[in-house]
Amino acid sequence: MSTMTDDQKLDLARRMFEAWDTMDWDGVVDMFADDGVLHSVMQEPVVGRAAIAERMAILGSKAERITLHIKALGIIDGRVFVERVDDFDFDGHHGEVPVVGILRMADGTITEWLEYYDRPTLLAGMGITDDFGH
C-alpha cells in the first residue's frame, strides 16, 4: 500500500466531489478501491466496487441535480474530513442535507467513505417514504 500525501488525498476528495456535482457515477465508482467501502453509518456498509456501482445506479436513476456545497475540508490523522451541505433534486423533489464525511485513502483510491447525516431529512428531501437502503 503506497502512502499518499495530504495534497494527493485532498485532490482525490475534490475530484470525487466534482464527480458527484456532475453526476459522473462511473467516475465516482472508479475512485473507490476494488474492496472500497461506502458507509452511511446508519445503514449496513456497501462493500466493493460492484456493490457501490449498484447503489450509484439506484441514486443516479432518479437524480436530476446535485451540488455538494463544501463548508470545510481538511486532514486529521491521515483521513480527509469534509463538512458539506448536499443540495439536490431527486425525482421531482428538492432537498438539502448537512453531512460530515470521513474518507480513508490509499494507492490513489478511496478505501472507506463514512457519511454522517440525518437519514430522515435525506429521505424526505428525496420524497422517499420507504428507505431504499434497508
* Confidence band of 2 (pLDDT split at 50, 70, 90): low
Residue 133 lies in a domain: no
Could you list the residue range(s) of the whole structural domain that residue 115 is in?
6-126
Q: How many secondary structure helices (H) and strands (E) does the chain include? A: 4, 6
Cell of 55: 447503489
Q: Give the span between the Cα atoms of 106 and 57, in whole angstroms.
A: 25
Place of cell 459522473: 24
Note the pLDDT tens digit of each residue in 120-134: 888 888 888 776 554
Domain with 77 in it: what CATH number? 3.10.450.50
Residue 104 lies in a domain: yes
Residue 79 lies in a domain: yes
pLDDT at 134: 46
Q: Give the span between the Cα atoms of 53 and 32, in whole angstroms.
A: 10
Note the pLDDT tens digit of each residue in 50-93: 999 999 999 899 999 999 999 999 999 999 999 999 999 998 99
pTM of the model: 0.90
